[in-house]
């Protein structure tokens, strides 16, 4: 039998079971802490995800709204461009200089003793002058490239422009009258590129019967263009015409 200090009335496995319970309690507490931490992290993550999704939805909404506004602005610009093109087309078809003003300008500038034989007015589509250094192939290539660029950009073709060409012929007593008429037309604001094409002797039937002595006249032909930048102002000169003999 041992000493009295070695005596114990506790079961042999009591201390071992007590240590196991302590370990189980501590493990359970740690597990609870881990579970609570993971749950809290999941909640925070879910809240952050929801906030990000809301922000993403708002960004998508703002983007769609901006795209819709841009599309409306684009449509409005297209409509404005079409209106401008229609206006330019209508303006190109309207005569800027009334024909009555053209006739008045011609007849008012005729010197005394001068008459008109015929008058021709023709509209031709405007052609830009080609570059001097470019060949015909280069000009055609440049025109095709410009057309393709305009089609790619969605831009319609420009309204056509027209040049009005005038050809007239008449009779005068002397070369001085022809020169005076040509000089007046050259300084007129309604015309440009005034050129004398023909100036020759014209024998009247009575002249041929009199062996060419008294009725020899000067027949002239002039070509020119209407000035597209000219402005017609209302006034006495716009309506006043001279009494001129016009024969056919």
φ, ψ for residue 29, nearest 5 deg: -65, -45
What token pair was written down for 78? 């297209």
Return the closest-CA partner of residue 185 out of 197, 173, 202, 200: 197
Among 85-99, 113-127, 193-207, where is mean pLDDT lowest?
85-99
Give me 136's structure tokens. 């015909």
- Residues 113/173, Cβ–Cβ less than 8 Å: yes
Both tokens assigned to 146: 């410009």
Question: With pLDDT > 70 as the criterion, what percentage of the chain qualifies?
Answer: 72
The whole-number pLDDT of residue 59 equals: 92
pLDDT value for 6: 56
> Are 219 and 201 contacting, i.e. CB atoms less than 8 angstroms apart?
yes
The CATH architecture to which 99-126+161-239 belongs is 2-Layer Sandwich (3.30)
pTM score:
0.50
- Segments making up each domain of the chain, as ranges: 10-94, 99-126+161-239
pLDDT grade for 150, boundaries at 50, 70 and 90: low
Q: What is the spatial distance between Cα 237 and Cα 22, in angstroms, rounded to a whole number?
A: 123
The 10s digit of each residue's pLDDT in 56-103 is: 999 999 999 999 999 999 999 988 888 887 887 777 666 777 888 888
């Amino acid at each position: 039998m041992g000493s009295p200090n070695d005596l114990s009335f506790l079961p042999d496995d009591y201390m071992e079971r007590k240590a196991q319970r302590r370990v189980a309690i501590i493990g359970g507490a740690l597990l609870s802490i881990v579970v609570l931490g993971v749950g809290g992290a999941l909640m925070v993550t879910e809240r952050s995800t929801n906030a990000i999704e809301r922000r993403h939805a708002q960004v998508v909404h703002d983007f769609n709204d901006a795209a819709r506004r841009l599309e409306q602005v684009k449509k409005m610009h297209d409509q404005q461009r079409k209106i401008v093109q229609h206006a330019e087309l209508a303006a190109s078809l309207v005569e800027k200089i009334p024909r009555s003003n053209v006739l008045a300008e011609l007849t008012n500038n005729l010197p005394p003793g001068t008459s008109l034989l015929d008058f021709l007015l023709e509209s031709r589509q405007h052609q830009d002058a080609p570059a001097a250094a470019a060949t015909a192939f280069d000009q055609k290539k440049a025109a095709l490239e410009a057309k393709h660029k305009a089609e790619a950009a969605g831009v319609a073709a420009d309204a056509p422009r027209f040049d009005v060409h005038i050809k007239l012929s008449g009779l005068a007593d002397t070369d001085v009258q022809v020169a005076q008429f040509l000089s007046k037309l050259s300084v007129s604001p309604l015309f440009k590129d005034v050129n004398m094409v023909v100036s020759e002797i014209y024998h009247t039937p009575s002249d041929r019967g009199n062996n060419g002595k008294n009725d020899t006249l000067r027949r002239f032909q002039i070509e020119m263009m209407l000035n597209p930048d000219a402005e017609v102002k209302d006034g006495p000169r716009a309506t006043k015409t001279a009494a001129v003999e016009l024969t056919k």
